[in-house]
Amino acid sequence: MTSIVILISGRGSNMQAIVRAAAAEQWPAHIAAVISNRHDAQGLEFAREHGIPVAVVSNKDYSTRDAFDAALQEEIERFSPDLVVLAGFLRILTGAFVAHYAGRMLNIHPSLLPAFPGLATHRQALVAGVKNHGATVHFVTADLDHGPIVAQAVVPVLSGDTEETLALRVLEQEHVIYPAAVRSFVEGKLALHNNKVWFGA
């Protein structure tokens, strides 16, 4: 059984998609905890309702990123996870934290990386005038939004799109590719070898 800890900051719809897929498809996995850096994250409610242990480590309680990441790591380690899943988690993580979870931490980013790293990706896409946009699942490395790419989904940018309509089209695809990637990891079909993505049979 692969033990998974999911980190969120808000709505948690990707977390929900993963929790639902794990149950519906009977993955050999256990969602050990959902941890948020914000007390008011909506996703915490869903986790509680589903009997998943929740915890909050508020970045506001720590004066440095190192102190916050140390506290976050301590909380995560209570659940001894094999995999840490960032699902709309909004704090940049320090090199020491990322190194501890090397090869066992995934993120979904709402753009076709390496285009539009950082925040406000849908606005960035509309400003750039790209015809296609999407989402990327990647292993997390110290280099923000530049870790080895696991999966991508492409959606068209349509005339009349706003950040909201575009975000929704991308989010629907996130809910497809993120659970699929996590499933591959728990089935031992996805790993990071020498900083390259390995897919097994």
Candidates 11-19, 66-74, 82-90, 123-131 — which segment interacts with ligand NHR by CB under 6 A? 82-90
Q: How far is the CB of 3 from ligand GAR (least distance, A)?
A: 21
- Contacted entry of ligand NHR, ligand GAR, none for residue 191, CB cut-off 5 to 8 Å set by kind: none
The smaller minimum CB distance to ligand GAR, of residues 81 and 88, is found at: 88
For residue 155, list its beta bridge partners.
Answer: 133
E-strand stretches of the chain: 2-8, 29-36, 54-56, 83-86, 105-109, 132-139, 149-156, 190-193, 196-199
Does 88 help bind ligand GAR (rule: CB under 6 A)?
yes
Does 13 help bind ligand GAR (rule: CB under 6 A)?
yes
- Contacted entry of ligand GAR, ligand NHR, none for residue 98, CB cut-off 5 to 8 Å set by kind: ligand NHR
The CA R_g of the chain, rounded to the nearest whole Å, is: 16
- Applying CB under 6 A, among 5, 35, 76, 86 the residue interacting with ligand NHR is 86
User: Catalytic pick from 39, 109, 122, 133?
Assistant: 109
- Applying CB under 6 A, among 4, 6, 72, 110 the residue interacting with ligand GAR is 110
- Applying CB under 6 A, among 93, 125, 150, 155 the residue interacting with ligand NHR is 93
Degrees to nearest 5, angle at CA 151 with 150 and 156 = 150
- Applying CB under 6 A, among 107, 155, 177, 179 the residue interacting with ligand NHR is 107
> CA separation (Å) from 22 to 4, 90, 103, 135?
11, 24, 21, 21
CA dihedral sign, ordered 47, 51, 71, 40: positive
Backbone angles phi, psi at 2, to 5 degrees: -85, 130
The smaller minimum CB distance to ligand GAR, of residues 43 and 81, is found at: 43
Q: Catalytic residue at 109?
A: yes
Say how many C-beta atoms besides its own lie within 10 A of residue 1's C-beta: 10
Site for ligand NHR in 115-154 (CB under 6 A): 118-119, 140, 142, 144-145, 147
Residues in the chain: 201
Instruction: Report, as residue numbers or ranges, the catalytic residues.
Output: 109
